[in-house]
Amino acid sequence: MYSLHVMANKPKRKFLDDVEKLIIHNFKRLRKEKGWTQQQLADKAGVDKGYIGGIENMSNPFATESQINYAQIFGVNRLEFYRGIPDITKDEFECLILYRRLRDLGHLDEIIGYAKYLLEVNNNKKKKEAT
């Protein structure tokens, strides 16, 4: 479906949108493979059918923590939601999960700003050591 090499050449936002679409595609695929309707999955998850529909049409968030719960309901590893990105490395996958968790918590911009600051400090330190 998607490969990391193809998506890596797109702007980051497009890459992340593609990953989100892939996750939702796999969510729907797993539900359909079980032969469950949205209502049946909602009953198993203890949520309203509209919430499942919202995940599937991307109007409700499908947070990283929710993936763990739904993976248990489907009886699969949560990595199954990422099927279709065959070229992704373990480190890239962990970065993607970290990104999604930070986004879910609403602190992504703060963390990115702090990471950039730390990189700048580290680069300045290396420059001083080299002189």
What is the tally of structural domains in the chain?
A: 2
Largest CA distance in the chain: 67
Q: Are residues 79 and 94 in the same domain?
A: no
Lowest average pLDDT, out of 28-32, 42-46, 59-63, 105-109, goes to: 105-109
Residue 39 CB partners (closer than 8 Å, separation 6+)? 49, 52
Tokens of 22: 């892939």
Is the domain of 19 the same as that of 57? yes
Note down the domain range covering 107.
89-131
Whole-number Å distance between alpha carbons of 50 and 57: 10
Same domain, residue pair 23 and 77: yes
pTM: 0.65
Same domain, yes or no, for 98 and 116? yes
pLDDT of residue 121: 77
Instruction: Give 25-34 contacts, CB < 8 A, sequence gap 24+.
Output: 25/1, 25/84, 26/80, 26/81, 26/82, 26/83, 26/84, 27/55, 27/56, 27/62, 27/70, 27/81, 28/56, 30/70, 30/74, 30/76, 30/80, 30/81, 31/74, 34/74
Instruction: Tell me the pLDDT tens digit for each residue of 88-102.
Output: 677 777 777 777 777
pLDDT confidence of residue 59: 87
Residues 5 and 57 in one domain: yes
Q: What contacts 63, CB < 8 A, 6 or more positions away?
A: 100, 104
Q: What is the pLDDT of residues 8-55, one digit of tens each?
A: 444 555 666 777 888 899 999 999 999 999 999 999 999 999 999 999
Domain harbouring 1, CATH code: 1.10.260.40
Domain boundary among 52, 68, 86: 86
